[in-house]
Structure formats: structure tokens, C-alpha cells
Amino acid sequence: MRIKVLGPGCPRCAQVEKTVKEVIQDLGLEATIEKVKDINKIMEYPILRTPGLVLDDELVCSGRVPSKEEVTEFVKKALGE
């Protein structure tokens, strides 16, 4: 699974990254997590506000910090569970 956290590196972006890492570890998955800070790369996605969360090239959340439960559901849905 490829995961991208979109944002300039603010505390909210760091929180999304931390939550994603916890969920991946809790589920026992292997994933590549990339922090995307380049505004041009961020604008490749339909995002109006950061932070953004992308799972396998699909934007699943933007403009807020999702809860751990939400991130778990996003990951499970991306895996087809």
C-alpha cells in the first residue's frame, strides 16, 4: 500500500502521519508512507485544504485530521475489506 500525507509539514500534517503509522502497525501491514510538501504535487489531487491523506493514489480525506478509527476504516476500505 502506498500512502501519502499531503501538507507543508504543519503540526496537523504530522498528526495525520503519526496516526497513519499507528494504524499500519496495529493492522500488521506493510506500507510506504510519503510526506508530500511540494505544493505542485499536492495540487495534483482534488484538495482545497491540507492536511490530505491519499491511499493508493485516491484522496480519502482532506482539510482535517481524521481520527484513528477513521484512518483504520480508510485503510480497510482501500484493501477491499
Known catalytic residues are 10, 13
Contacts of 7 (CB under 8 A, 6+ apart): 13, 16, 35, 36, 37, 42, 50, 51, 52
Residue of 2, 11, 79 whose CA lies nearest to 34 = 2
